Amino acid sequence: MWLTARVLEQRLFAYHFLRGAPDAVEAALDAYRNEDGGYGHALEPDLRGPVSQPLHTAHALRVLDAVGRCGGQRVERVCRYLTSVSTADGALPAVHPGGRGYPAAPLVQGSPTASGVSAHAGSRGSLPATGPVVGLLHRNEVWHAWLFRATDFCWQAVADLEDPHPHEVLAAVAFLDSVPDRPRAEAAADRLGRLVRARRLVVLDPDRPVPSGQAAGMRQVPQQAARRGDPGARHFPHDLAGSPASLARAWFTDDEMARSLDHLAAGQQEDGGWPVRRRSWAPVPTLEARALVTIEALCTLRAHGRFVG
């Protein structure tokens, strides 16, 4: 963390594990905020450039949620920004057209929308962009006019999932874990969990040999993941159920989750960090993302009762 992480991640690490102050995290986050109420400046490392983007703003909300500051006038300004960039269906695009011309990871450029097509033009809402934001705002009891249509969009997008990309599943879980209608969320999560297992969207046994003829890193990953720009994608139970409180935890047995957490813990490298699992497209974004991946790994292990020091 002290060797390569940005100031924001250093302070976030200190908050989580060294009794750091939330004010220091907020001060570092402010450097990425724009006058329109959104966030930019490559806050999400895979999307470069200074302009505000929904993915950057979602990242900022995750940081604010982590330090207990997801509320007040700051979030009111964020909601105004979200309203200004929403699509006709009341949701968020994966990449707003205003960001064209700046570098971005191929996976971000081809992010799947709820309908499975690119949201590059900003004309269709994206579940991966919208679901986590709506979930975070609900979890922090934020009420804003933007949330009504965005919540309706997420319900419909989750119901429409039949052949999902893992990123759509992650977004659906983020939404379902916090939306206020708990019986409906539990029913939707039950259907989604059965779909995840039927489509083999997660690696349930990390130590299982790769079948003959399959490239390394592709075991138990469906072909649609490769078609949508993420040929090396591998997702594990701990990716979907980041904490025992997640609805996704019920999708996996205790043994499956234990193997997944063992695999996560074993991934720590000699310098103390965790690797970025997706394919690298440029050196600096990968380096910046590595600090994020490391904090996430530590938080996931601790949430599941694993000792992290």
Residue 135 CA to residue 150 CA, distance in Å, equals 10
- Please state, as a whole number, how many other Cβ atoms lie within 10 Å of the Cβ of residue 244: 10
Range in 48-57, 200-209, 279-288 the model is least confident about: 200-209
CB 201 within 8 A of CB 172: no
Give me the pLDDT at residue 294, please.
98
Q: Report the CATH architecture of 7-112+122-303.
A: Alpha/alpha barrel (1.50)
pLDDT tens digits, one per residue of 90-130: 999 988 887 678 999 987 755 443 333 333 344 689 999 99
Residue 146 has pLDDT above 70, yes or no: yes
What mean pLDDT do residues 7-35 have?
98
CB 162 within 8 A of CB 172: no
What mean pLDDT do residues 24-50 have?
96
Is residue 43 very low, low, confident or very high in pLDDT (cuts 50, 70, 90)?
very high
What average pLDDT is seen over the chain?
88
Give me the pLDDT at residue 250, please.
98
Q: Which residue has the higher pLDDT, 278 or 246?
A: 246
Give me the pLDDT at residue 1, please.
95
Is residue 233 very low, low, confident or very high in pLDDT (cuts 50, 70, 90)?
low
Residues 6 or more apart whose Cβ sits within 8 Å of residue 144: 76, 79, 137
Cα distances from 237 to residues 102, 120, 232, 253, 255, in angstroms, run 34, 30, 17, 10, 11
Residue 237 CA to residue 259 CA, distance in Å, equals 9
Residue 66 has pLDDT above 50, yes or no: yes
What mean pLDDT do residues 271-285 have?
93
Domain boundaries, the chain: 7-112+122-303
Give me the pLDDT at residue 99, please.
67
Residue 93: both structure tokens together: 């695009």
pLDDT tens digits, one per residue of 172-185: 999 999 999 999 99
Tell me, letter by letter, the H, E, C secondary structure of 196-207.
Answer: HHHCCCCCCCCC
Range in 129-143, 188-202, 227-241, 253-267 the model is least confident about: 227-241
CA atoms 238, 208, 290, 307: torsion sign: positive
Give me the pLDDT at residue 207, please.
87
Give me the pLDDT at residue 160, please.
97
Give me the pLDDT at residue 96, please.
86
Query: Maximum distance among all alpha carbons in the chain?
Result: 56
Residue 223 has pLDDT above 50, yes or no: no
Residue 279: both structure tokens together: 């394919």
Residue 192 has pLDDT above 80, yes or no: yes
